[in-house]
Amino acid sequence: MARIAYLDCGCGISGDMTLAALIDAGADLDSLNRAIGSLGLPGLRLRATEVTKLGFRATQVSVESEPEHEKRYLRDILAMIDASQLNVRQRENARRIFNALAGAEARVHGTSIEQVHFHEIGAADSIADIVGAAVGWELLGVDRIIASPVPTGIGRIKIAHGECSIPAPTTAELLRGIPLEKTTIEGELTTPTGAAILATLVDSFGLLPAMKIERIGYGAGHHDFAQRPNILRLLVGELAEETADGGEQVCVVETNLDDVSGELVGYCISRLWDAGALDVYTTAIQMKKNRPAMKLTVLCHPGDVAAMEDIVFLETTTLGVRRWTAARHVLRRQPHSVTTPWGPVEGKIGWLRSDLPRFAPEFESCRRVAAASQTPLREVYEAAQRAFDAERAASARKT
C-alpha cells in the first residue's frame, strides 16, 4: 500500500512547525541532530519540548547554535549541504527547498539566484529547520505528501527590507498555484520556509483523502493566537484500498465546439491553465452534418470542477459540458535543476517504486537555453541528461 502524509495546515506552516510535527510523528531526534551536526555549523542542534496550545498538546522545536554574523549566499548553503553526511534523498530535498527560496527572492528583488543574499533564511536556525525538515521527511518513509489549503494570516510584518503586507513577498511568490484558505487571524501564519516546503515537497493539495491513520504528529509554532491553536497537524498512514496503487481521483470536463474561433479557444485554454487545470487539450472531431469541430478536454482536481466549467462557459459558445470522475496514476516526482555549459536547465525527477530516479528536462527551459546560447536544442537536452547522471553518480559515491 502507498504510505502517505497529510499536512493539516489549519494555522499555517513554518519550518520549525514542520520539523516539530515530523518529530512528534516519529522522526528520530537523534538522527536529525546527527544530520544537521554534519553541516559544520558550531554547536548546531535541535531541542524538542512538549507544550500546550489552547489546551492541545504538541511538540515544539528550538534550535541551539553559537552566535554568528555570517553573510550567506545560496552557493554557501548548497556547498554546506553537499559536504554533509546527508544521504542522496535528504540532500536533494534540502537543495530543492533552498533553490525554491532563492528563486522566489530573486524574482522579488529583480536579481539572479546567485546574487541573492539570505537574511533570516541564511541564519543557522533557519538552515537547521530546512535541513532537518528535509531529513525528517525521508526518515518518515512516506511515498506521497498531501496538504490542505493554507492560511497566510493578515496584517503587516517587518522584514529585513522594511514593513510589508502579509503574506510577505517571498512567501507570496512561493505560494503561486497553491490553494489558500481565508482567515481573520492577525500575524504571519505561513513563513517563507513553510511555503517553500509546500511548493517543493507536497505532491497535491485538497481534502483529507481516504486513508488508514497510523500516526499523528502535532508541531507547535512559537506564537499564540486567541482564535486557533498554533499547531501544524501531520497525519501519516496508508491510502485506502481503492487508491493504494498511488493513484488519485481527478475529474474530466469535456465539450464539443464547432462555432468558435481558434483564438478564443486558445485564450480559454490559457485561462484554464492559470486556474490550476492538471491538463488541457483539444481533439479534432466531426459533429452532425459532417461539420469539422474540436473537443475541448480538461483534467482537474475534484474541488476545481466548478471553476473550470465557469471558464469554459464564459470563454466559449458551448451550451453544455460533460464531466466524470477518473482515476489517475502518476509517478512520484519533484522539480530539479541541473547545470549545463550554457546555464541551468529545469526538469523533473520521477521514481517508479524503489527504482533509481529518472530525469526529464523541461522543454521550455531547454528552449530558452538553446536560444540564448545559439546551441542546437538536441545538444542542450543531452547535456542536461549528462549533468544529472553525473550528479547522481557523485551523490552515490558520497553515501
127 contacts: CB under 8 Å, gap ≥ 6: 36, 39, 41, 44, 77, 80
Q: Are residues 10 and 62 in the same domain?
A: yes
Q: Are residues 91 and 183 in the same domain?
A: yes
Lowest mean pLDDT among 63-77, 203-217, 302-316: 63-77
Q: In this structure, what C-alpha cell is assigned to residue 29?
A: 531526534
Q: Which of 185, 214, 243 corresponds to the end of one domain?
A: 243
Lowest mean pLDDT among 79-83, 132-136, 247-251, 287-291: 247-251
CATH number at residue 253: 3.30.70.1380
Mean pLDDT throughout 317-343?
A: 84
pLDDT at 117 (0 to 100): 66
Name the amino acid, one letter, at 320.
G
Distance CA 369, CA 102 (A): 20
> Helix 192-201 crosses helix 124-140 at what angle (to 10 degrees)?
30
In the chain the beta strands, taken as DSSP E runs, fall at 3-8, 45-53, 56-64, 72-73, 117-118, 144-147, 156-159, 162-165, 204-205, 211-220, 231-239, 247-257, 279-286, 292-300, 322-329, 332-340, 343-351, 358-361
Q: Are residues 234 and 312 in the same domain?
A: no
pLDDT at 243 (0 to 100): 45
pLDDT at 353 (0 to 100): 58
Q: Are residues 37 and 162 in the same domain?
A: yes
244 pLDDT band (50/70/90 cuts)? very low
337 contacts: CB under 8 Å, gap ≥ 6: 99, 344, 345, 346, 347
pLDDT at 399 (0 to 100): 59
pLDDT at 252 (0 to 100): 92
pLDDT digits (tens, 9 = 90+) for 98-113: 988 988 888 888 887 7
Structural domain boundaries enclosing 349: 332-398
Position 398 pLDDT exceeds 80: no
> Helical H runs in 166-286?
169-174, 192-201, 262-274
The fraction of the chain above a pLDDT of 90, given in percent, is 56
Q: Are residues 81 and 187 in the same domain?
A: yes
pLDDT digits (tens, 9 = 90+) for 114-148: 777 675 565 888 899 999 999 999 999 888 899 99
pLDDT digits (tens, 9 = 90+) for 22-33: 999 999 999 999
Chain mean pLDDT for the chain = 88
- Cross-strand partners of 159: 162
pLDDT at 8 (0 to 100): 96
pLDDT at 374 (0 to 100): 93
Q: Are residues 59 and 196 in the same domain?
A: yes
281 contacts: CB under 8 Å, gap ≥ 6: 297
Position 376 pLDDT exceeds 80: yes
pLDDT at 122 (0 to 100): 58
Q: In this structure, what C-alpha cell is assigned to residue 99?
A: 533553490
Among candidates 191, 197, 145, which has minimal Cα distance to 172? 191
Residue with cell 485561462: 271
Distance CA 26, CA 319 (A): 53
333 pLDDT band (50/70/90 cuts)? confident
How many domains are there within the chain?
Answer: 3
Predicted structure pTM score: 0.63
CATH number at residue 341: 3.10.20
Q: Which of 329, 349, 367 corresponds to the end of one domain?
A: 329
